Amino acid sequence: MNESKSEQVARGEKLEVARRAAGLSQRALARDLGITQGHYSKLVSGQANDKNHYINRGISLIEDDDSDGGEVEQLVKRAAQEIRLSMTFRRLIQAALIHSRDRVGDA
């Protein structure tokens, strides 16, 4: 069955909505699909020839993550990333490292 161009674009949009809802970047989902972010971008915009295969796989990956509690896992990953990027967190780690080196030097 051949899909019309508008049906193909609609499927790409569905994948993009699911990707955003899952909190994934295009790069992360592309990596999970085994393709580049640039190829992923072409898929969802309807510019790539092999779009159905990857769009179906992408939707399946996201739906599988959701059914396994993937949403909570994604939230934990995002929180951990935000903490690592936090200037306060980095200062605390730096202070702890300096303190531990000072204690080792005193021994």
> What confidence tens digit (pLDDT) does each residue in 5-43 have?
777 778 888 889 988 988 889 998 988 888 899 999 988
Domain check: are 10 and 57 in the same one? yes
- More confident position, 68 or 103: 103
Helices (DSSP H) in the chain: which residue ranges? 5-21, 26-33, 37-44, 51-67, 70-85, 87-106
Backbone angles phi, psi at 7, to 5 degrees: -70, -40
Domain check: are 63 and 86 in the same one? no
State the pTM of this model.
0.56
Domain check: are 11 and 61 in the same one? yes
Q: How many domains does the chain have?
A: 2
First-to-last C-alpha distance (Å) of the chain: 75
Round the average pLDDT of the chain to a whole number and report it.
Answer: 79
Domain check: are 84 and 56 in the same one? no
Domain check: are 52 and 2 in the same one? yes
Domain check: are 6 and 58 in the same one? yes
pLDDT at 38: 92
Domain check: are 44 and 19 in the same one? yes
- More confident position, 93 or 28: 28
Task: State the residue range of the domain holding 107.
Answer: 69-107
Position 57 pLDDT exceeds 70: yes
What integer is the mean pLDDT of 59-72?
Answer: 68
Domain check: are 62 and 80 in the same one? no
Distances in Å between the alpha carbon of 44 and those of 15, 17, 59?
7, 10, 12
pLDDT at 37: 92
Domain check: are 42 and 57 in the same one? yes
Position 91 pLDDT exceeds 70: yes
**Alpha-carbon distance 107 to 103, whole Å?**
6
Domain check: are 58 and 90 in the same one? no
Question: pLDDT above 90 covers what percent of the chain?
Answer: 6
What integer is the mean pLDDT of 74-82?
Answer: 72
